[in-house]
Homo-oligomer: A and B are copies of this chain.
Amino acid sequence: MQKPTLPKGTRDFGPEQMRKRLFIFDTIRQTFQRFAFQPLETPSMENLSTLMGKYGDEGDQLLFKILNSGDFAANLTELDVAQGSKKLTPKISEKGLRYDLTVPFARYVVMNRNALTMPFKRYQMQPVWRADRPQKGRYREFYQCDADVVGTDSLLCEAEIILMIHEVFQNLGIQDFTLKINNRKILAGIAEMIGAPGQEGPLSVAIDKLDKIGKEKVLDELRERGFSEASLVSIDELLALFSLQKLDPDNVLTILEDKLRKSEIGQLGIGELKETLELVQQYGFENARIDIDPTLARGLSYYTGAIFEVKANGVQIGSVSGGGRYDNLTSAFGMPGLSGVGISFGVDRIYDVMDELNLFPPNAGQGTQVLIVPFDAEARTVALPVLRQLRTADITAEMYPDITKVKKMLDYANAKQVPFVILIGSEEVQTGELSVKNMLTGEQHKISADKVVAFIVSACKA
């Protein structure tokens, strides 16, 4: 018999991991809900016609495709096979697994446009699948937690995203994070300033490599991408702009206002950023930590306004959260002009950060709080009502199911890191005084059956 294995790039989440993951999911969900985002779930499968062409050629390749059910090969010809995988695929597969939560959300909005109350605020926490080469921190199945508002271009939405980011990371216990914010209009202003209007895309892709490849190679790349020598004359000034994020937000805005004074779109972007920060302050959130970073350009082809990115400090890992404003979410499905803004939290990376920095609260991974150990069948008659009362008091409690050696039952408690054990033998049955053992300290008390629940409740909450 072959030993069973997992498909590569996938994972089981055992009890301790799951409890910690549930802590993360619950924390994010609570924040989304308090901010009045509404839950949505879409199917794991979408028609390939919904998914294809939305993520670029590479994305199309990384979609997991589902073989048509039934006799899918019935009408295949030799030619279909000879023409190779790409042409064969649509003949044998019409569905794929979702690649992100954004395209299914767009599809949902378009299909339900007449029933939805706009502005529509939704959150969605579901797995996505990508046929990527698995490597450390990159999986073929992973969760995304997205919140989006569509149907309004109010900057209040940007402000609320900044507030939600702070609330989520503070509630998770990740105090040390960097939230970077930018606006595509500022990038457009910079491109205008150097005489390359509309070229903010290639410009930011090249500048993004500065740390890795150095100034000369960045210049080479910009030349290759068609930037004129004239536009590169002031490259040092440009690079100075791009290192502004080290300054505090007010300074950055002052410098940008000066440098981009001739760019209308640039001023627009600066104005949006300013208003967003003002709204955050009016909410009463004084200690928001926001870095304005004019280089930030995640998924630029997609975003049209604000751009967000969050990194956890002290851990070598990519961004743990990101998002921005877009104007074209639903245009691929025939519904243009719907503006929206969203944020996505990466649960798997957040888990890795919290694990590495030891930030999970002690009880986040905890399972059973009390194990009842009956020495014999008679002891069970005393044990069962206690078990019931413990659960009624919302204590996670179990009774060892078999009548066996006490050592074996205590080993079970230790292996599961159960903090309290209630031992019930014939003496306990006679006297009604139960033995409660603290498995951490080894302390043992005799407590009457009618007081044991109150004792455990207060001990578990201590």
A444 touches B (CB below 8 Å): no
Decide if A43 touches B396 in the complex (CB within 8 Å). Answer: no
Q: Could you give, for residues 1-33 of chain A, a 1 whenever the CB lies within 8 Å of some chain B CB and a 0 otherwise?
A: 111111100111111001101100000000001
Chain B residue with the shortest CB-CB distance to A369? B36
Chain B residues, Cβ within 8 Å of A121: 398
Chain B residues, Cβ within 8 Å of A398: 35-36, 121
Q: A117-B412, A117-B416 are in contact. Are A156 and B399 (CB under 8 A)?
A: yes
A330 to B: closest C-beta gap in Å: 10
Q: Closest 6 CB pairs between A and B?
A: A154-B401, A10-B43, A36-B398, A15-B38, A18-B39, A69-B131
Q: A279-B380, A381-B282 are in contact. Are A47 and B333 (CB under 8 A)?
A: no
A388 touches B (CB below 8 Å): yes
Chain B residues, Cβ within 8 Å of A152: 401-402
Chain B residues, Cβ within 8 Å of A368: 36
Interface residues of A in 364-413 (CB under 8 A from B): 367-368, 380-381, 384-385, 387-388, 391, 394-399, 401-402, 412
A257 touches B (CB below 8 Å): no
A7 to B: closest C-beta gap in Å: 5
Q: How far is the CA of A149 from the CA of B412 in the complex (A)?
A: 14
Q: How far is the CA of A89 from the CA of B62 in the complex (A)?
A: 20
Decide if A43 touches B391 in the complex (CB within 8 Å). Answer: no
Can you report 13 residue pairs joining A to B where beta carbons are below 8 Å apart? A4-B49, A6-B47, A12-B42, A15-B38, A19-B38, A33-B396, A36-B368, A44-B141, A45-B140, A65-B66, A67-B67, A119-B402, A279-B380
Chain B residues, Cβ within 8 Å of A19: 38-39
Chain B residues, Cβ within 8 Å of A222: none
Interface stretch, picked from A79-87, A178-186, A228-236, A424-432, is A79-87
Decide if B367 touches A279 in the complex (CB within 8 Å). Answer: no
Decide if A81 touches B80 in the complex (CB within 8 Å). Answer: yes
A336 to B: closest C-beta gap in Å: 10
- Given contact pairs A7-B94, A13-B39, A76-B81, enumerate 17 new A-B contacts (beta carbons under 8 Å): A3-B111, A3-B334, A11-B43, A12-B108, A18-B38, A18-B39, A18-B40, A18-B41, A33-B396, A34-B396, A35-B391, A35-B398, A45-B140, A73-B88, A119-B402, A119-B412, A282-B381
A141 to B: closest C-beta gap in Å: 5
Number of copies: 2
Q: Is the interface of A mostly helix, strand, loop or mixed?
A: mixed
A25 to B: closest C-beta gap in Å: 11
A71 touches B (CB below 8 Å): yes
A53 to B: closest C-beta gap in Å: 12
Chain B residues, Cβ within 8 Å of A415: 117
A129 touches B (CB below 8 Å): yes
Q: How far is the CA of A215 from the CA of B93 in the complex (A)?
A: 47
A272 touches B (CB below 8 Å): no
A324 to B: closest C-beta gap in Å: 17
Chain B residues, Cβ within 8 Å of A5: 47, 50, 111
Chain B residues, Cβ within 8 Å of A33: 396
Chain B residue with the shortest CB-CB distance to A76? B81
Chain B residues, Cβ within 8 Å of A129: 44-45
Chain B residue with the shortest CB-CB distance to A387? B283
A77 to B: closest C-beta gap in Å: 8
Q: How far is the CA of A149 from the CA of B368 in the complex (A)?
A: 14
Chain B residue with the shortest CB-CB distance to A152? B401
Decide if A34 touches B65 in the complex (CB within 8 Å). Answer: no
A265 touches B (CB below 8 Å): no
Decide if B92 touches A84 in the complex (CB within 8 Å). Answer: no
Chain B residue with the shortest CB-CB distance to A74? B85
A389 to B: closest C-beta gap in Å: 8
Chain B residues, Cβ within 8 Å of A385: 282-284
A46 touches B (CB below 8 Å): yes
A211 touches B (CB below 8 Å): no
